[in-house]
Amino acid sequence: FAGMALVAAAAIMTEAGTYQAATVEQYRASLKVTVGLQVLWWLALVWFVVYYTDIRNRRVPWSATITLFVAGVVHLFSPAGITHEQIESLRSIELPWGERIVLGAGAGHPLAWVAVSAIGALTVLLVYSVVELLRRGARRQALRVGIALLLITVAQIHGFLVDALIVHSPYLLAPAFLGILLLVGLDTTDEIVRASILSREVEANERRWRSMLENVELAVVGIDREGLINFANPFMERLTGLTHDQMLGRPSAELVPARDAEKLRLRFQEAIRTGPVSQWTILRASGEERTLAWSNVRLLTSDGDGAGLISIDADITDQLRAQEGLESAL
C-alpha cells in the first residue's frame, strides 16, 4: 500500500507538470514519465488486490501482470510513449474555473491496443475478485473492490474521450488513483480499529483465565511438547513445595518418583495426542508422595498438531487414604 501511494503521488505530480508544458518536447517527456509511473501503479494494484482478496487462482493476476509488463516495455521504447506515435502539437483548453491546461494532439500509437489490453486484464482481475469475495460472503470487501473497478472504468472511458477530442478536460486517472487510495486507507483504518478492539478483548480474556488458574484450588501445570514445564499455578507450588521459577523449564518427569519417570514420558506422548485423564503420584520437595488425578487439555498449533498440555490436577491422596481405611475397617 505504501508503495502504491508513493507511485501515485509521483504520477500525480508529473501529470500536473504535463498540463503546464510550454513546448511539445516538454509535454512528451513529462507524459512519458507520467504514463510509466501509471503502469507501475497498475502493477502494484494487481498484487495488492491479490493480497487483499486472498485470490488462490493466480492465473488471472499473472495474466494482468504480463500484459501490463508488455505495455510498459512498449511505452519505454516508444519515443512518445504508448499513447501516441508522435505528438505533433499542443492544444490549450480552459477549465470551468478559469485555469488553462495543455493536452497533446497527434496520431495514436499503433500498439496502443496493448495498453487497452492491459487495462482490460486489470478490469477482469477486479471483476473476478468481486465475484470471489461475494462467493465467500465478504460483502464489505467486494463493495470496495467494486468501487475501485467503477473508478478505473470511468477514468479509462473518459481518457478515450479526451484522446478523441470529444471531451476537453484533464484525465481522470489521478482522481481515480486518489479515490482507490482513500478506499484502501479507510479499509486499513477499519482493520486497525478492529484489531485494537480484538486485542483488548484477548487481553481481558487472558487476565480472566490467568486469574482463574492462579486462584483455583486445583494444581494447574503447563507442559510443552518436549515435556518441559512452562507454567505452574500457586496451588501447584504449595503442593510440590517448589516455586514457579524452580519448576519452569524443568522436565515434568522430575515431578514424579524415579520409578514412574519413564512411564510418565511414554504416557505424555499419548496424552499430547489424546489428552486422557490419568492418575499419578508426584514427589514433593520434602520427599512426601501425593497422588493426583490429572485431567489433560491438549494445546494445538495452527496446523492442528499437539503443542503441549495444560494439566488440571486434583490431590486425591487423603481421599484414597480414607477409602483404604474404610476398606480395612470392613
Structure confidence at residue 1 (pLDDT) = 62
Q: Which three cell numbers stand for residue 120?
A: 482490460
pTM: predicted TM-score of the whole model, two decimal places: 0.56
pLDDT in tens, the chain (330 residues): 667 677 777 877 888 888 888 888 888 888 888 888 888 888 888 888 888 788 777 888 888 889 889 988 988 888 888 887 888 888 888 877 788 888 888 887 888 888 888 888 888 888 888 888 888 888 887 888 888 878 878 887 777 777 766 777 777 777 777 777 777 777 777 777 777 888 888 888 888 877 877 778 888 888 888 888 988 888 888 888 888 889 999 888 888 888 888 887 777 777 766 655 567 788 888 888 888 887 777 787 777 777 788 888 888 888 878 877 777 766
Structure confidence at residue 2 (pLDDT) = 67
Sign of CA dihedral 100, 101, 106, 109: negative
Q: How many angstroms separate the CA atoms of 35 and 72, rounded?
A: 9
Judged by DSSP in three states, 297 sits in strand
Among 29, 10, 15, which Cα is nearest to 80's? 29
Judged by DSSP in three states, 189 sits in helix
> What's the Cα-to-Cα distance from 183 to each of 141, 153, 157, 179, rounded to whole Å?
10, 16, 21, 6
